[in-house]
Structure 1
Amino acid sequence: MALATFPLIIRRWKRSILFSGDYAQYTQLREYLPEDIFLARIEALDSHVLKEYPHVWLDTYLFFIAICFVIATAAFSIIARAAQISMWYPLIMLLIPATIGFVTTRRRNTYYKKLAAYYESLQIVLKEFNSIDVTQQIKWSFRRLRDTDTHSSMHLVSRLSKQNINFVVEIVQINMENELLEEGEHLPAYDTSMMDIVLDIGPEAERVPGNMSECIIQVPPTTLPRRAHPLPPAYEQEEPVEMGPVHPPPAYIVPVTNSH
């Protein structure tokens, strides 16, 4: 269940911001997260967006300045022709918008690479939040804007159609047992854990730090009672059996009949 959502709004003439309302507006979140921790998390996210997110407001101003220089160059060339001034000055002025265009084009080509790097950085920050706030039974994550999202759920004044939202940071309620099972943090089986325990018992066992054999008191062999184990009975050899002469079996005589 979503407890709070914070959209990142892209602004053309200003820096992009992560919009968040007052703590009192998030009625469901107040049951899980205290106000001081909430303000600390929002402040950390605002600082991360300010420093790491690739803002576009600088490109907007550079594009506007380049257009102004082109218009000024055209007006100056008309005046220079009427006043018979050298036409090299308007050409020199055109170098400024050309340089601005080169810089903005390069920034635009690297925008998506910087945006992908920012997503990875944001994922690391949210994982740090989750490792600390897991006892509060909440989880931080970010996602794309959904069709079910409304401006009232995000505490925005204007509608979502008038906003340019890149992604949404979301706080959801979790079940700690299910979360630990999904992450694989479960105890090993009893037989598996017992297989890892090896005890080396004996007078010649090497004593190393942490060896469990140090905790075993070895009793001298003289103090142990000796038990007389009976020996197995001797095998008596019987008298050899003499073999008598072997007679061949009688020959079978087949009667021969004369046929006439």
Structure 2
Amino acid sequence: MNNKPSKHKTIYYNSLTDDVVKSKQQDFTLPDNYQIIKQNIPNYVMRFLATGFAYLFTYGAMHVKVIGRDKLVKYKDQGYFIYGNHTQMLNDVFMPLTLCGWKNYYAIANQANWGIPVIGKILLPYGGLPVGKTIKQAINLLKAVKALTKENAHIVIYPEAHIWPYFTDIRPFSETSFNFPVQANKASFVMTTTYQKRKYGKHPKITVYIDGPFFPDTTLTKKQQQKKLHDQVFHQLKKRSKMSNYQYYQYQKREIGG
């Protein structure tokens, strides 16, 4: 299904796990020997340039307001994970650079993103951690995350997986990605993007809330720790999402047979 926002600003979906925005490279796949972590001069140059653009785009063009960034500052010299709702094509890529620091920012993303011009070809190779499509790739991701957390990396995860532009609620997501902070015994933060009505213009005001930290409960089993972290993050996202008061796109579920 390839639903794009219509002139009437209505996006139709069959289930809350639909991918409502697809790229031409939706089936793009990286080779098993893809080098995930690139620590070289081009890496640092690209990160530095991307961060400069991120500040201009996030706060100059999009006029995003971030509330609670001080919570991250306290952990700037420690590794941590950030879980956010996925509602912006570009801002979800660039804004975290302004929060996490250009040296430490990484993001876990679907491999289809590597097929997107510019972002996939130029930016993601230096900060993206591809979700594995094969057992070997999944193991490589686990190894990369483990190595990065030891180096105090700040890793962003959008557990909803698929982007739903300007969506004002939180879609259900699995507990799988919460294995990372449990295994590393690192803090998790919640990053909720919300939308408010502007006095002038049709585009909404964007306000991002940072909450946390949430830590694995080491008195529980690994599976129980994953579930508890999942529930804490999900409930915090749901709570903050209620700060949205404006829907730029209307989302409507298709009727059976429709």
**Normalising by the residue count of structure 2, what TM-score does the alignment of the two structures yield?**
0.20
Q: Relative contact order (C-alpha < 8 Å, sep 6+): which is higher? A: 2
Higher helix share: 1
Higher strand share: 2
Larger Rg: 1
**Normalising by the residue count of structure 1, what TM-score does the alignment of the two structures yield?**
0.20
